[in-house]
Structure 1
Amino acid sequence: MPAVSIELTQWQDSWTRDFEELAELIRGAAGPSVVRVDHIGSTSVPGMTAKDVIDVQVIVRRLPDQQLEDGLLAAGFTRSPGAHELRDHVPESWEGDPSAWDKRVFRPPADTRPGNVHVRIAGRPNERYALLFREFLTADPRTRAAWALFKQRLAAAVGDLNPYGQIKDPASDVLMAAAERWASETGWHPPAETPPGY
């Protein structure tokens, strides 16, 4: 697999607007298949260092969802190739069926800003994982700063997106163990239904 350089940048106010524009495009293309569209990943955490790529989570009732896939493809989205785009990293602590972490990944149309559209099933652990990551790092500035520093040092050490991701996945599981403690202490849980206005 060819090397892909890593470019991290300081958090930008424009990322929120970029997400909203991409989410509107997704809702218009995918129609009623969409339960919810979330801004996830580091660009969704104010103050976090991140790659200038918007990560979006699209929640659906089932996979595959032909209506959603047909709608996105017709609107210029493309399927991201590779088996790693069909299932999220499964944490070592997970004791259930690995298929609970299944997903689909699309890329936005070529004339829009770079992004990753992760399509996941409502109520599955990968939906929770993505949202808890965002909420925990938003709420905890010390952990947010430490995670940003870790990413910067990792990017400088490996210089290639492929090993960067392979190392970051298990490190994320350590981070998420702390996030689960925070969720238990605060009573946080992911949204149970579609927010008003969707």
Structure 2
Amino acid sequence: MLGLPEGEVFLTPWTQEWEREFLLEKEKIQKEIGDNIVEIHHIGSTAVKKLSAKPIIDIAVEINDFNEGENYVSSLEKIGYSYKGTNILPDRHYFSKGEPRTHQIHMYQSGNKYLQEQLKFRDYLRNNDEAKIEYEQLKLKLSKLNKSNKHKYAEDKTHFVKTILGKVQ
């Protein structure tokens, strides 16, 4: 199942479907703006096997020049994305797809610190079962406490994420 209605926070168990969805979406994005892409990464919890997650595929699109990001809006709109600008999350162009939301694109300039943190955190969880289990338990607890407040849910995970990043920096 994919899709998170606006204003809701809930987790679903990991499924192989998420990897397939990412690969299908990656192909569509490459077809539209491929010549301008450094790399496309599957990020977020759906990118970590056996980790429950909000049912949204997070995609990081790495480009050479951040200022070129707005040039890709119309191409990404053709495949269903809405451009939300650069003020939603720091140092990225943000796009969402679907209602309920099924996919998100975080478009970063290559080398961006937030992109690097996303990849390091993902890779750490992929390679450390104990941390993955601890993170999942935290997320399950927070999703119950913050069923209608995604910002509080995300904020309450910050300490855990920073602790992990401190281990891999």
Q: TM class by shorter-chain length?
A: 0.7 to 0.9
1:147 equivalenced with 2:105 (yes/no)? no
User: Separation in 2 of the partners of 1:123 and 1:13?
Assistant: 29
Which of 65, 71, 77 is equivalent to 1:67?
Answer: 71
Is the contact between residue 64 and residue 110 of structure 2 (CA under 8 Å) also seen in structure 1?
A: yes
SS state at 1:80 partner? strand
Is the contact between residue 14 and residue 50 of structure 2 (CA under 8 Å) also seen in structure 1?
A: yes
Assess, with a 3 A threshold, how the Cα gap between structure 1 residues 63 and 144 changes in structure 2: closer, same or farther.
same
Code of the residue aligned with 2:83 in structure 1: it is R
Q: Deviations over 1:38-59 (max 9, x none)?
A: 1011000011110110000000
| Larger Rg over CA atoms | 1
SS state at 1:147 partner? helix
Ranked by relative contact order (alpha carbons within 8 Å, sequence separation 6 or more), the top structure is: 2
User: Separation in 2 of the partners of 1:156 and 1:77?
Assistant: 29
Task: Specify the alignment match of 2:83 in structure 1.
Answer: 79
In structure 2, the gaps of 5 or more residues are 1-5
Map 1:2-81 to 2 at 5 A. Answer: 4-65=7-68, 66-80=70-84
User: Separation in 2 of the partners of 1:117 and 1:162?
Assistant: 18
User: Separation in 2 of the partners of 1:138 and 1:146?
Assistant: 13
Assess, with a 3 A threshold, how the Cα gap between structure 1 residues 4 and 113 changes in structure 2: closer, same or farther.
closer
**Between the two proteins, what is the percent identity of the paired residues?**
22
In structure 1, the gaps of 5 or more residues are 88-101, 181-198
**TM, length-normalised to structure 2:** 0.86
Task: Specify the alignment match of 1:117 in structure 2.
Answer: 105
Q: RMSD of the TM alignment (CA)?
A: 2.1
Equivalences, count: 162
Assess, with a 3 A threshold, how the Cα gap between structure 1 residues 26 and 112 changes in structure 2: closer, same or farther.
farther
Task: Specify the alignment match of 1:179 in structure 2.
Answer: 168
Code of the residue aligned with 2:157 in structure 1: it is K
The Cα shift of 1:112 comes to: 10
